[in-house]
Amino acid sequence: MTPTPILEVKNVGLKLGDKSILNNLSLDFWPGYVHAVVGPNGAGKSTLASTIMGLSGYTHFTGDILFEGESIRELPIDKRAQKGITMAWQEPARFEGLSIQRFIQAGTKEKSTEKVREVLEQVGLNPDTYLNRAVDTTLSGGERKRIELASILIMKPKLVMMDEPDSGIDVDALNRIFEAIRFLKKNGSTVLLITHSVTVLKQADHGFLICCGKLLRKGSTEKLEEFFGDKCIPCDHKNEPVMESTNE
């Protein structure tokens, strides 16, 4: 039996300038699963995440987005965050001079130092080294991604979107992120991975392949891996969706 979706993207269309980025796109995301949205660069993956999050410049879409059965299209980003929706950016923001402890605590009511130490350890960062260190340009891209992920873990969100989680990081940092994804799922969060990487796709339970802002295929990651790895290249297809059974 297919679960009731936690997030429903219903016939969403979005133009940036004169270019259509999302084209009547409909996707359902089940609660407690790790989902992947895959496709080549320029497919509309990051635009989809930005639209769901309600970022500036991405609110003028057609169609609707439902979260837990209610439309969020009119809600600003802070109200969506209050509902339990959050996003880990491809390039995490810097808050110059803010301590890592304060950064991690900023989005949660959980203010104990012990909990901050716990989530830092979960992402593979020594609390004694990082707790009072400043969030600044001395941090590597991998360190910033891990710190941002720690700030998400402490929030215990209902829905986490991760935009290209493997971008600009080493193997150890990526493995820590994969461990955190499994932890989030175990604790009831729904995870949405935005990626063009087969390695990241393999972390998901279910996936969607999009191109030119349209759904081409959905189903098991094994089927998408074969299609995405071997066939998703520049081509003359008409973007007609090839639908797989959702009971996989």
Tens digit of pLDDT for each residue in 118-176?
999 999 999 999 999 988 888 888 888 888 889 999 989 999 999 988 887 888 888 88
Residue 248 lies in a domain: no
Q: Among the listed ranges 128-137, 199-208, 226-235, 238-247, which one has the minimum average pLDDT value? A: 238-247
- What is residue 143's predicted lDDT score, i.e. its pLDDT? 86
Residue 40 reports pLDDT greater than 50: yes
Residue 130 lies in a domain: no
What is the average pLDDT across 47-65? 95
Number of domains in the chain: 1
Residue 18 lies in a domain: yes
pLDDT confidence bin for 16, thresholds 50/70/90: very high
Residue 112 lies in a domain: no
Residue 96 lies in a domain: no
- What is residue 90's predicted lDDT score, i.e. its pLDDT? 59
Residue 48 lies in a domain: yes
Residue 73 reports pLDDT greater than 60: yes
The residue ranking higher by pLDDT, 203 or 227, is 203
Mean pLDDT score across all residues of the chain: 86
Would you say 75 and 139 are in contact if contact means Cβ atoms under 8 Å apart?
A: no
pLDDT confidence bin for 12, thresholds 50/70/90: very high
Would you say 100 and 92 are in contact if contact means Cβ atoms under 8 Å apart?
A: no
Q: For the chain, what percent of residues have pLDDT higher than 70?
A: 88
Integer angstrom CA distances of residue 233 from 99, 161, 173: 44, 25, 29
Residue 61 reports pLDDT greater than 90: yes
Domain carrying residue 42 = 7-86+159-243
Residue 11 reports pLDDT greater than 60: yes
- What is residue 239's predicted lDDT score, i.e. its pLDDT? 47
In angstroms, rounded to a whole number, what is the distance separating the alpha carbons of residues 52 and 222? 26
In angstroms, rounded to a whole number, what is the distance separating the alpha carbons of residues 194 and 30? 16
Residue 46 lies in a domain: yes
Residue 58 lies in a domain: yes
Domain CATH for 30: 3.40.50.300
